[in-house]
Structure 1
């Protein structure tokens, strides 16, 4: 892709294919950016390809995925803006702390090390993976019903099922186990350099109806950055669930990210 403006790297989370960012890529390109949305290690080019080969997706942990994106970032002409959702939000927080990007937008980001709230809804959303320790080395798919609870609880059931059919893929279980044990592991891969005052600005976005990453998690994440003088902002969408990047209201969320970047000269 020819560089037409500042680079943007979109990072998806668990259970969504990289192509779910396509509307965002088009919107950011129209705004003058040069966006890309690479998949995780082992992810096929298509949703169906990923569903057909879950073993290729299995077993990848947080640090491995970060290094996968580092290799991609190293091919870009400019240090990019990082935008991530769910575990992709956790990844972009970690990458921003490592100065791999000039700014980041973390949307309904999974908890980093130090975040203590553990809402019941979050446990229920993660249960399809965490119920079996052997899932740490596997790729696990959600059923349409599990997807509706974890992603689509704030939208009509029909829309949730359509999004499931369009974008849902198996996800590696390893990152969820890493997050679940983060505060008991001194070397947890969910650790983020939240004290880095030299990093670029960070916007945390939360959905008020999110079952998977409730507001309490994002608010606790914000507190982890209290020792950094770098810009860290919080934006909430009270009526949104975890599907806020892919459902009918995604444009408003994308606009919030664009406004944040413009306000900070990016």
Structure 2
């Protein structure tokens, strides 16, 4: 199987990486979690060094990930959640991925639906223009609405204390204004013969990236005539689906898609 690289979103450290060891034990070659060089791999360190990511852009992270991938001896499978889901589409569009799984992806340029719940979930960042150059930490209630709305309060509090970290505000502003900017850095090429198979995964109860938004990304990607493009909805889950008690359903859906497209173990 091609090496696996995971990209997390703008909130949370290691939500994919925390599950790497278990998938490796199941026969998946997991080579790491991709992000910006200033990303901390420890939650406490991320809080202590919150300012290190201030002003980080989508382009900054995408270019760094490309540099890392170009050091590999073969194209990896890239799996990303939220803004990581947008990032892996950009990477796939650059012809750098053997296969791609975009989980609850933030919108690329051209994805038009903007449901109310998405606006509400993003308001803690977008509500203050100064957050463009800052990192932002959500309160528990904000995290509960945006990420952990589909789990119990007990699990939500555990997820908040274990995974939530400050994150740069700039990518949210970039995504929010992309459809008004012809030079937007959130554009992902979709039609290339080198894009590779691509799966979009969405959570039924996701407030941040509802089905309408994820499905719009899928419809853009399925214009690719060279590779399989699919979408799967995981029942009863929210935006925390990669870190909460339902994560195995997400992993199984991804592994099934990859296996059916010649990228299995």
Cα separation, 1, equivalents of 2:241 and 2:16: 12
Q: How many residues align?
A: 262
Corresponding residue to 2:43 among 38, 43, 47: 47
Match of 2:105 in 1: 109
Task: State the Cα distance separating 1:191 from its structure 2 match.
Answer: 0.5
Deviates more, 1:19-28 or 1:179-188: 19-28
Question: Would you say 1:231 and 2:242 are equivalent positions?
Answer: no
Match of 2:90 in 1: 94
TM-score (ref. length: structure 1): 0.95
- 5+ residue gaps, structure 1, are none
Q: Deviations over 1:87-129 (max 9, x none)?
A: 0000001100101111100000011111111100000110010
Over the aligned positions, Cα root-mean-square deviation in angstroms equals 1.3
Asked whether the equivalents of residues 10 and 83 of structure 1 are also in contact (C-alpha less than 8 Å), the reply is yes
> Compared with structure 1, are the counterparts of its residues 25 and 75 closer, same or farther at alpha carbon in structure 2 (3 Å cutoff)?
farther
Q: Deviations over 1:11-65 (max 9, x none)?
A: 0001110365221343145324233113433112311101011110111101110
Match of 1:163 in 2: 159
Cα separation, 1, equivalents of 2:122 and 2:196: 31
Match of 1:132 in 2: 128
Asked whether the equivalents of residues 12 and 86 of structure 1 are also in contact (C-alpha less than 8 Å), the reply is yes
Cα separation, 1, equivalents of 2:184 and 2:87: 13
Task: State the Cα distance separating 1:141 from its structure 2 match.
Answer: 0.5
Asked whether the equivalents of residues 140 and 173 of structure 1 are also in contact (C-alpha less than 8 Å), the reply is yes
- 5+ residue gaps, structure 2, are none
Cα separation, 2, equivalents of 1:148 and 1:72: 34
Asked whether the equivalents of residues 36 and 60 of structure 2 are also in contact (C-alpha less than 8 Å), the reply is no
Q: Deviations over 1:211-240 (max 9, x none)?
A: 000000011111212432121101011211
Match of 1:217 in 2: 213
Deviates more, 1:150-159 or 1:19-28: 19-28
Match of 2:243 in 1: 246
Question: Would you say 1:123 and 2:119 are equivalent positions?
Answer: yes
TM-score (ref. length: structure 2): 0.95
Q: Secondary structure at the match of 1:181?
A: helix
Cα separation, 2, equivalents of 1:13 and 1:104: 15
